[in-house]
Amino acid sequence: MIAKLICLIAVLTGFAFFMGYNLDNKCDIWLFTKTLKDVPVFMNSLISFAIGVMCALPFAFVRKIKTQKKMEEREAEREEAAKRKASKKAAKASKAPGEDKASGAQASSDTGSKTSGNTESGKTKREKILERIQKLKKQSHPSETEQEAE
């Protein structure tokens, strides 16, 4: 902050010296239909600088708007990633202790969901795992209807 203030004072001091030394230097300025005679040189420089600043301002504002949009998009992506991470943690926390062993056994006996043909593309990973667990339970424990039939 203090460095900016010192730079501003230095620039204004330099500009004041430039104006003071060029008060006697005059030039003519042509403005399409009118010619201004005996205009001090520093006025020409000052007006040119002001016009340049006005031409640069729209570009600065457009860049600022684009930067803000990119920052908002990145923030939204970060929030979305955080939500996904939180939901994964919640899913892991809600799993039963024996669930990992059952899904591991199914994964070793099944080469994959595509080869088994039992999964649909719209199902989530959790639903697929639950189906595998139910199949394992049916395989290891015969159903009550089968026991009654015997």
Q: What's the first-to-final CA gap in the chain, in angstroms?
A: 90
Q: Determine phi and psi for 27, rounding to 5 degrees.
A: -150, 165
Mean local confidence (pLDDT), 130-141 = 84
Q: Could you tell me the CA-to-CA distances from 106 to 24, 100, 114, 131 in Å, in that order?
A: 95, 10, 14, 10
- Tens of pLDDT, residue by residue over 14-63, are 988 888 888 888 988 888 899 989 888 888 888 888 999 999 999 999 99
Residue among 150, 98, 84 at smallest CA distance from 129: 98
Which tokens hold the place of 102? 């059952």
Q: Which residue has the higher pLDDT, 89 or 121?
A: 89
Whole-model pTM? 0.42
State the amino acid at position 87 in one-letter form: S
